[in-house]
Structure 1
């Protein structure tokens, strides 16, 4: 009995479609037929959507791979620059130590030169003082002898 009901429903459906094609179609029926056609075209649309989805998925995967590669390259560059920065910092520290040492040598040399200059000036002053005191002593002795002689 169930098979007869299904078969009767099919027959009625086929008759309705045949009658629909035989009589002129009004605007309302055209819209209904367009909907039916759209329903049958849905699998094509689904296939297109699936193709678009797969293409988009592939593009996303490619972009993700490119991004991963860019991140990896960026990290390598960062590590390289950090190592280079450390090397430059060590070199800078060595250069600063050398500069301090050179400044200290220059200060020591300046102090030594000042001491030598002071010693030379002191020696010259002592020699001059010796001659001046010698002259003053002779003058004083000469004056005393002159007083005693009178």
Structure 2
């Protein structure tokens, strides 16, 4: 009787487990063992494809690296050329500044000399005019004295 009791208990427990199993939502379906075997056989082709993609990506990276080094080298050459041109232009600019200062000095000296000459001409003209005026004034006074002395 005990064996019957256990087997009935086992049957009830089995039914209960089945009912509980149906009540819980089932997880996503898993691939069967056959699908897993197929995947294992397909893995080498996937690995080969991944390896080909890796090699292609590696080649592209090398090409990009080469292009970048070429661009950096060209950029450096351009920068060096521009720096040398900048130095040459800086020297030219300094020479032009010196020439400009010299020309300004010449212009200032010329203006100074012209003012000096103008003052000298005006002074000489004033002296000549003054000489004639003083001569006339002196004659006028002499003439007046003589006129008074005659009377």
Q: TM-score range with shorter-chain normalisation?
A: 0.7 to 0.9
Q: What is the CA-CA distance between 1:137 and the residue it aligns to?
A: 0.4
Mapping for residues 75-86 of structure 1, pairs under 5 Å? 75-86=76-87
Q: What is the CA-CA distance between 1:104 and the residue it aligns to?
A: 0.8
Q: What is the CA-CA distance between 1:29 and the residue it aligns to?
A: 9.2
Aligned to 1:36: 37
Figure out how many residues of one structure are paired with residues of the other and give that number.
Answer: 123
Asked if 1:123 corresponds to 2:124, the answer is yes
Which runs of 5 or more residues in structure 2 are unaligned? 1-28
TM-score normalized by structure 1?
0.77
Distance of 2:126 and 2:32 partners within structure 1: 128
Which runs of 5 or more residues in structure 1 are unaligned? 1-27
Aligned to 1:139: 140
Q: 1:30 to 1:127 in 2, by over 3 A?
A: closer
RMSD: 1.5
Distance of 2:31 and 2:90 partners within structure 1: 82
TM-score normalized by structure 2?
0.77
- Give 3-state SS (helix, strand or coil) of 2:65's partner: helix
Aligned to 1:64: 65
Distance of 2:81 and 2:74 partners within structure 1: 10
Q: What is the CA-CA distance between 1:88 and the residue it aligns to?
A: 0.4
The C-alpha deviation readout for 1:81-138, integer Å capped at 9, x for no partner, is: 0000000010011011111111111111111111111111111111000000000000
Distance of 1:143 and 1:30 partners within structure 2: 151
Q: What is the CA-CA distance between 1:34 and the residue it aligns to?
A: 2.0
Moved over 6 A (4+): none
